């Protein structure tokens, strides 16, 4: 009986964890955001969601091999996790994308944190000396910029890609999306489904 309960708990834990990085996976992220949105609504507080993407990750895989790429993802995941507070969350979202969920955090605080993370990750070495690790990020803040997981994710993701394009063009002045925060939702290239609310269950 004890063996079965331990096995069940291990299986449950595995279902919520990304195998490569050891970080929470998308399933856990969804449940965590549901709890945090409910908490922020109840307390009248803010919550920041940051989408982070590794710059030119394909070049690392092509030049150094997939093993080096996997190692880079693990190291980036470790740095992101260690840089946030115990009650915040860093999850691997997909491929070379991560999502941070920062409780009781406004846009300026989230922007400062993203800048710190960018500086830390640029210090990581890769086998090819011609390549440098870097990340681009986009921020969305509950409740003023979205009241659901879907709307916050869409906005943060859009801002991340805009910032990534700015970094590649050489005209990058706003790593944390401060300027993008002033853009009206209607001016974005994505449709932000503000009316879709997150439920606690997982699909």
Report residue 86 as tokens.
Answer: 């115990």
Query: In whole angstroms, what is the distance from residue 167 CA to residue 164 CA?
Result: 5
- Dihedral of CA atoms 124, 164, 150, 115 in degrees, nearest 10, equals 50
| Region for residue 158 given its phi and psi (left: phi exceeds 0; alpha: psi -120 to 50; beta: otherwise) | alpha
Report residue 119 as tokens.
Answer: 């500086």
Query: In whole angstroms, what is the distance from residue 4 CA to residue 191 CA?
Result: 46
Of all helices (H) and strands (E), which one includes residue 1? Answer: none
User: Which residue out of 18, 55, 88, 96 is catalytically annotated?
Assistant: 96
**Contact criterion met (CB below 8 Å) for 51 and 156:** yes
Q: Which residue, chain included where needed, has tokens 């209607």?
A: 186
Instruction: Decide if 96 is catalytic.
Output: yes
- Give the residue numbers marked as catalytic: 96
């Amino acid at each position: 009986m004890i063996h079965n309960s331990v096995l069940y708990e291990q299986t449950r834990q595995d279902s919520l964890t990304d195998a490569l990085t050891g970080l929470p996976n998308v399933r856990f992220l969804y449940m965590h955001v549901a709890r945090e949105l409910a908490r922020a609504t109840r307390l009248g507080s803010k919550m920041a969601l940051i989408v982070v993407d590794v710059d030119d990750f394909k070049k690392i895989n092509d030049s150094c091999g997939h093993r080096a790429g996997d190692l880079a993802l693990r190291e980036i995941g470790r740095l992101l996790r260690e840089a946030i507070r115990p009650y915040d969350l860093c999850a691997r979202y997909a491929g070379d994308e991560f999502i941070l969920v920062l409780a009781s955090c406004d846009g300026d605080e989230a922007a400062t944190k993203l800048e710190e993370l960018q500086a830390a990750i640029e210090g990581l070495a890769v086998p090819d000396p011609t390549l440098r690790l870097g990340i681009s990020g986009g921020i969305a803040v509950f409740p003023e910029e979205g009241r659901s997981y879907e709307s916050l994710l869409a906005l943060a993701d859009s801002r991340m890609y805009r910032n990534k394009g700015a970094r590649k063009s050489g005209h990058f002045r706003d790593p944390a999306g401060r300027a993008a925060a002033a853009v009206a939702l209607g001016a974005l290239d994505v449709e932000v489904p503000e009316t879709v609310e997150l439920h606690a269950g997982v699909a």
